Every structure is written in C-alpha cells, then in structure tokens.
Structure 1
Amino acid sequence: MAKTASQDLGTLPISKLLVKQAIPASIGILVMSLNILVDTIFVGQWIGSTAIAAINVVLPVSFFIAALGMSIGVGGSSIISRALGANNPDKALKTFGNQITLTLVLTISMVIAGLWFIDGILPAFGGKGNILEPAKIYYTIVLYGVPFLALSMMGNTVIRAEGKPKFAMYAMMIPSVSNLLLDYIFINLLDLGMAGAAWATTLAYVFCFAFIFWFFLSKNSELKIKKHHFGLQKPIVLEIASLGFVTLARQAVVSITYLFMNNILFNLGGETSVTAYAIVGRMLMFALFPVYGITQGFLPIAGFNYGAFKYARVKESIYTAIKYAAGLATLVFILLMVFPEAITRLFTDNAEVMLQTPPAMRWVFAATPIIALQLIGAAYFQAIGKAKQALLLTLLRQGFFFIPLIFILPMFYGELGVWIAFPISDVLATIVTAYFLNGEIIKNLNPESEPIS
C-alpha cells in the first residue's frame, strides 16, 4: 500500500514536521488576519471610525455561528487524526460525512434565528447610538455567507488532519485576498459603504467554500465519502460533540466577552472606547498569527501519534511546540510594546481614539510571552480526545478569570481596570494549564507505556 501524507505525521522528525505543518498554518492565519486588519483599515479610512465599531458589534454573532463549523471540524478532525493513526479509514470517512451533515443543519438553523431576532441581538452586543444602523446593514448581509464560512472552517481542519497543510493554507488565503479586492471595488470604486464591505466579506466566504469543495472532490484528498457516510451515527455525533464543544464553548465565551466589553466600554468611554477595543481586538487576531499557526500545526501531530501509541513523539511535540511558540510570542510582544502609536495610526487619525488605544494595547499584550504554554496545553487535551480537560483549560482565561475581572476591576480603576484584566487572566490561566499539562506528561506520556511493535 502506498504511503499516504497522513502517515508522515508518525514518522518524520518532530521539529521538521512541526515546521512543515505550522508554516502553512501560520501563513494562512497571517493572510486571514491581514484581511481582517486591512478590511478594518479600509472601513475606517473610507467609511469612518463608527463603521469599525459597527463591525466589531457584528463579528461575535457571525463568528459564533461560523464557530459551529469550526467546532464540528476540530472535534471531528481529532477523531480523524486518531483513526488514521490507528489505520481505521472507515471511521475517518464516517466522521467526515457526519461533520458535513451537522454543520449544514446547525448553521442554517442559527442563521435563520439570527436574522429573525436581529432587533434584539444587535443592541445587546453594543449596537447603540450611531453604531446601530451601520451594524444592521453589515449584519444582515454577512449572515447569508456564514454557512459557507462554517463549512469552510470545518473542511479546513479536516484537510490538516489529512496531513495537507499547504491546501489548508490556500483555503485561508483565497477569501482573504478576494475580500480585499472586493473591498476596493465595492467600497472605494462603487461607493457602496457598509453594504459593500458586507458583500465583499460574504462573497469571499463563498469563494473559500468553492475551493474546499473542489479539494475533497479531487485526487488530493484521501477521504472519498459516499452517500451512506452522511447519515448521522450517534456514537460519532456524541464524540464530535464532546470534543467540538470545547471549540464552541471557547467561541461562545469570546462572543459573550465582546458583548460585555462593548457595553462596559460604551458606558465608561462611549463610542471612542468601543472603537479602541475594536482596534486592539484586530491586533489580537493579527499579531499572534505565528503562535496560532504553531498551535494549528501541533494538533494533527499530537492526535495522530497519540492514536498510534507513540507517546515519546507526543511528548516531544508538546515541548517543541511550546518552545517555538514562546519565542515567536516574545517577538510579537516586543514589537507591540514599541510601536502601538504607529499601529493605531494605520486605522484612524481620530485624536481621541489615538489617545486611548496605544496604552490599552500595551496592557492587553503585556503577558504575551507566556501564552504559548496555555494555548498548546489546551490544544493537547483536545487533540488526544480528553474533552473535559480541554474544555476546562480552554475556558480558563476568558470564562473563569477574564469575565469576572472586567466587572470587578473597573469598580476600582475605571477603564484601566478593563485593560489590566487581560494580562492578569493570561498569567493565572498559564499557571493552571502548566499544572495540568505537567501532570498529564508524568502520568500518561512515558515511553514505557508504548506498546511493543
């Protein structure tokens, strides 16, 4: 039998494998993040700073629905990686078919509900005052494209599970490049304003889906599913749900965080503070792309080798991923501490926003050098199928620490309390993750636990 790309996950040297997986993932995330960043710059320069705040109101809702696809993708891909590692292709095919069915049913249902309750959702997420009307225009159009985004996010994780990181990278680059081109046409040339920005985003999602659809039909994919694979099977659905819930819960907490942050900052500093948070939020998506790339590259490596009982390789992948991610996170930290004013100026020349954003950015990224351990630790438990531990560690930072802190600290420090909540939660979450990860390595990743071949 010919060697497949997925089998490389169990044989190539870990450092070489991590670079092979992480570089395409990082490039894909970079391009996607640049898209969000430049899209925000275009909107700010061509429409106005209020439009930036409007998009920030819509993002948590649309991303939460799309995260249904991501969660189904990550949960199913963990199963697929381990199934391929255990030489069980039939389970991998059934899992992929169930992923597609679940994604379609759930995201379309959520989009219908999201459009039906639009008048209650947008104000709840901070769509108030001058922000509401442009937010409504953007929200209505973007939601039509969200099922395509969800299917794309689901499919992208499966491509990685197959050991095809370059195709996953292409899938992330296509919507990013097309969105920027369409932004220029719809906003700058045709002067369509918020509607133009929304249609550019929606069509970009469709283009991404078209590429991923082609990939799975082509000879590049090992997963050739048939009609009977689409039928939902309870054991597979439950396993996808238990693991995927980790990702969904993470995005749910992110959306809730946006809801709280937009409202708290609106009450403390008005539209200016919401805009400052929108800019900092874009940098959170963009600046950490190499760290997220390593995390994405680490997932299939850990999952495949755990499924193949190669525990020494799993342990090596953990240490290597943390080392690489921490080094890159430190570089990001240095750049953001030195150049926050220049970064802010890319988005807007509004004097009040320019005054508030740089110090906020410094606080938000103050603990960046240590976050690699927290991200890799949570990803490890998800990769090996331990849903409870993965859920706990994923929700630590924002769910258990950050959200309580943004209510408590402003009572003593005002708006500053919101910003200092970021590094405090990073430090606390990293300490707890280190404790759990160290215990797991000592208990379950000893080479003597590997079966004799």
Structure 2
Amino acid sequence: MQDRSKLLADESIGKLLFKLSAPATVGMLVQALYNLVDTAFVGQALGENSIPAIGGIAVAFPVMMIVMATALAIGIGGASMISRSLGKKDQDRAENVMGNVLSMVLIISVLICVLGSIFITPILRLFGATDTILPYATDYLSIILYGSVFFMFALAMNNVVRSEGNAKVAMYTMLISALVNIILDPFFIFNSGYIEFNFLADKLGIVIQPLYVYGFGLGVKGAAIATVLAQTTGAIFLVWYFASGNSSLRFHTRYLIPKWDIAKESISIGMGPLARNASSSLVVIVLNNILIAYGGGDIAIAIFGVANRLFMFTFMPMYGIVQGLQPIVGFNYGARKFSRVMESVKLSMFVTTTMAIIGFIVLIAFPEQLFRIFTTDQQLISSGKYATRIMVLALPLVGFQVVGASLYQAIGKARPSFLLAMSRQLLFLIPLVLILPHFFQLTGVWMAFPLSDSLSFMLTLVMVIREFKVLSGMGETIA
C-alpha cells in the first residue's frame, strides 16, 4: 500500500503514466480485438446470412453497452472515491466504498437480467431490429443478459483494482477474458469441420493452414455463449485476486450494506461514462430507425455495426490511457499536488491525440480491406468503405475530448464530467443525425459523426482551459 501511494505521489509523470496506462492499453486492445474477431467469425460462418447476423449483433450490442455502462458508472465513480480516499490516507473509507460497489453491482445486475429478459423483443424493436435481424439479435442478447452479473462484476471491480494503482492485475483480467473468448469462439460458432481462415490470411499476407474444429455450430448463440464464459473467467480471476490478499484493499461483509451517501456520490461521478455509453445506445435507436427510413435497411445497419467495431479498436487504446491517468489524477488531487494533475493530463492528451491520428490514417486508407475481414458481400464492402471515410474525418480530435472528460471524473466533479461525456452523443450527434439526412439522405447520417466530434472538441477545450486556471490558483501541498 505504501509503495503504491509513494509511486502515485512521487514517481515522474511520464514513467508513472506508462506504468499504469500500458497494461490498461494492452488489455483494452485485446478486448477490442476479440470484439472484432467475434463479429468476423459470425460473418464468415453464416455466409449468405452474414448481413442479418452482423446486423443482429449490431442491434443487440447497444443493449449490452447499457449493461456495461452501468457497471462502469458504478466502478469508475467508486474508483474515483477510492483513489481520493487513499490519497488522504483514509483506508476505512476506501474499503467501505469497495463493499458498496460490489453490492450495487449485484443488485442492479439481477434487475437488468430479469427486466431485459421480459422485454427483450420490444427493446430490440426499439433499437431498429427488422424482421430479418430480430431472430439473430434475440439469440445473442438473451444469452448475454443471463451473463450480465459477470460482465458487471468484472468491469466494476477492475476499476477498483486500478484505483489502488495495480494496473497489471486489471490488464490480466482483460487478457484472460479476451483470450478465452477468442479460443472458444470457433468451437461454439462453427460447425464441425475445417475452417479455412482465408478471410484473415488474405488480409495479413500469410498462409494459415486449415484447422479442424469440433464445433457446436451455434452461430450467433455460440458467440454470446463464448462471451459470457470469457467474462465469467475474468470475474473468477478478480475474486481470487481480492481473496488472496494481494490487494491493498480488504473485503468486509459489513460494508456490503448499501450506504446512500456512497451510492449517490459514486453514481453521480460515474454519470459521465454512463451518459456516454447510454447515449451511444440512444444514438443507435435514432440512427437505425433513420437508416431504415431513408432506405438503408439491413445493409446500412450492418455497416454501422462493423464501423462501430473498427472505431472501438481505435478508441480502446485511448481509454487505456485514461484508465491509467485516473488514479494519478485522483490521488494527487486528493493530496493537493495540482501541478502533477495538470502535467499528467497534458501528457495524456498528447498520447491520445497521437493514437487518434494513427487510427484516422488506417481507417481512411484501408476501409475496404478492413470490411472484407467481416464479410464477402460486395455491396456491404463498397458502401461501408464510403461511409467509414466520411465518419472518421474528425477522428484526430477525439483523443483530447476523451481525456478532458476523464479529468472531471477523476477529481470528483460530476456535473462537468456528465456534460462532456454526453456532449458528443446527445448534445451534438443525435440532433445532427435527425437534421442532416433531410438534406443529404444517407450521406447526412455519416456526416453527423465528424461534425459532432468537432463541436465536442471545442466545448472540451474551453472547459479544460478554465479548469487548468482554477487548478493553477489553488494552494498546493509541498512534499
């Protein structure tokens, strides 16, 4: 405990950010990779049915994102409180928060499973499921809902692990679950027989020998089962970590009793990521129905589903940097070392912007090759190439916005965190998606993305400059 606190307080920011962010970034990249592989396996396994299958996952995924967003809201809010408590050397408060995070996860996950299962069809219809997409979406989501307790536990408690500065354990959790998912996917998705893997070999320029798989042939259901089993494995690993005594935080059953003040503060701080992810789901509702209204149908929904996977692969490393940044900011803010707070934020903005530029170059240069990983349908590939090149035009600005929103989460300022988290999706993207298609048809939907990114960047820039002025004027603790 003392070693980790000393590290957060005194280690040079560059080294500290690398130590905490590198494991998180690796873990997030692997998570994004298995989401890509998940969809790619389904698309290739179902052949001529790849469009409705990919569309089914695309429609179900935002519901899954709401489950994940709720867990992140609890976990990130709790992690912010724990980091600041550790910075103030209040161990009892930190452990009290951890117990409440666990109890909130258990209660809410049960509610999500029950209500989601009862209303699964109207929910999927709301998210834009057509008659051809609905069976695939139902198959996928019904299984995911039963595993929601494992999803939520792994996501929330992983943030608790990061809050104490133990980024490697958080990385191991993500690596374990991702690798289990990738290994199980072929067995659950494909029928028994040889899998050629040509869809990967052609793109990578290497020879991959056919592999005989004793598969269950469950298709979309198999992808969901593999995902739930993978998350369960990650949850078991976290239980072992806390039970083994390797954590600086100790579990106490008395702290499982929910406390309103802890729940209120945790959720209010976590409302930023909750708003961001929940607004992503609201965007899908609006977007899919707009796509159907303007004649895009199943293909347009599938395009957005594939594009979302590709964007996740770009965004996830940025979120890895943010996850490493938050305990640094939270601890040093609690310890009143504000110069270290600002230094770490500036460095993180530089790194995430560099990542965003690299992602922009790859996506705008190779969209056709990337879409071919998921499908052999030429219309889907051609239309996806056109849409992706429009959607990524302002991608280089996203890194700054991601770090700016996380700054307010880490220092416990719920309102500005919420505003920045919702700005891209709710404040800018949804109105643009509703307005632009009237003038530019389907192209208007794709245009809404770079415009909302640009507007959100400008709002974040103004707010971060103002916050830095406040931090510069606050009295600082001298070591």
TM-score (norm 2): 0.92
Using the alignment, how far apart are the partners of 1:288 and 1:390 within structure 2? 18
Out of 461, 464, 476, the residue aligned to residue 434 of structure 1 is: 461
Local SS of the residue matching 1:361: helix
**Which residue of the partner structure matches residue 62 of structure 2?**
60
**Which residue of the partner structure matches residue 338 of structure 2?**
311
Using the alignment, how far apart are the partners of 2:67 and 2:317 within structure 1? 25
**Which residue of the partner structure matches residue 101 of structure 1?**
103
**Which residue of the partner structure matches residue 80 of structure 1?**
82
**Which residue of the partner structure matches residue 37 of structure 2?**
38
Sequence identity (%): 39
**Which residue of the partner structure matches residue 212 of structure 2?**
none
Local SS of the residue matching 1:349: coil
Q: Is the 8 A contact 2:74 2:105 kept in 1?
A: yes
Local SS of the residue matching 1:341: helix
Using the alignment, how far apart are the partners of 1:445 and 1:379 within structure 2? 18
Out of 275, 286, 292, the residue aligned to residue 266 of structure 1 is: 292
Q: Is the 8 A contact 1:78 1:382 kept in 2?
A: yes
Q: Which amino acid aligns with 1:143?
A: L
**Which residue of the partner structure matches residue 23 of structure 1?**
22
Question: Which residues of structure 2 form unaligned runs of 5+?
Answer: 191-214
Q: Which amino acid aligns with 1:219?
A: G
Q: Which amino acid aligns with 1:22?
A: S
Using the alignment, how far apart are the partners of 1:100 and 1:79 within structure 2? 14
Q: Deviations along 1:221-274, whole A, 9 cap, x unmatched?
A: 011121111111222121112112222222211111111112211232111111
Q: Which amino acid aligns with 1:348?
A: T
**Which residue of the partner structure matches residue 149 of structure 2?**
147
Using the alignment, how far apart are the partners of 2:283 and 2:472 within structure 1? 35
Q: Is the 8 A contact 1:68 1:107 kept in 2?
A: no
Using the alignment, how far apart are the partners of 1:34 and 1:84 within structure 2? 34
**Which residue of the partner structure matches residue 276 of structure 1?**
303
Q: Is the 8 A contact 2:112 2:148 kept in 1?
A: no
**Which residue of the partner structure matches residue 196 of structure 2?**
none
Matched, 1:220 2:220: no
TM-score (norm 1): 0.97
**Which residue of the partner structure matches residue 4 of structure 1?**
3
Q: Is the 8 A contact 1:70 1:153 kept in 2?
A: yes
**Which residue of the partner structure matches residue 270 of structure 2?**
244
Q: Is the 8 A contact 1:52 1:278 kept in 2?
A: yes
Q: Structure 2 vs 1, CA of residues 309 and 178 (structure 1 numbering), >3 Å: closer, same or farther? A: same
Give 1:63 shift: 2.0
Give 1:310 shift: 0.2
Q: Deviations along 1:315-353, whole A, 9 cap, x unmatched?
A: 101111111111121111111111111111111110110
Using the alignment, how far apart are the partners of 1:265 and 1:46 within structure 2? 26
**Which residue of the partner structure matches residue 116 of structure 2?**
114
Q: Deviations along 1:287-308, whole A, 9 cap, x unmatched?
A: 2332221111111111111011
Using the alignment, how far apart are the partners of 2:136 and 2:267 within structure 1? 35
User: Following superposition of structure 1 onto structure 2, how do residues 346-425 of structure 1 map, counting pairs within 5 Å?
Assistant: 346-425=373-452
Out of 106, 110, 129, the residue aligned to residue 127 of structure 1 is: 129
**Which residue of the partner structure matches residue 295 of structure 1?**
322
Using the alignment, how far apart are the partners of 2:78 and 2:421 within structure 1? 17
Using the alignment, how far apart are the partners of 2:106 and 2:389 within structure 1? 41
Q: Which amino acid aligns with 2:189?
A: I
Out of 232, 236, 256, the residue aligned to residue 230 of structure 1 is: 256
Give 1:452 shift: 4.7
**Which residue of the partner structure matches residue 336 of structure 1?**
363
Out of 240, 243, 255, the residue aligned to residue 281 of structure 2 is: 255
Q: Which runs of 4+ in 1 moved over 3 A?
A: none
Q: Which amino acid aligns with 1:111?
A: C
Using the alignment, how far apart are the partners of 1:12 and 1:348 within structure 2? 48
Using the alignment, how far apart are the partners of 1:287 and 1:172 within structure 2? 17
Local SS of the residue matching 2:147: helix
Using the alignment, how far apart are the partners of 2:71 and 2:161 within structure 1? 14
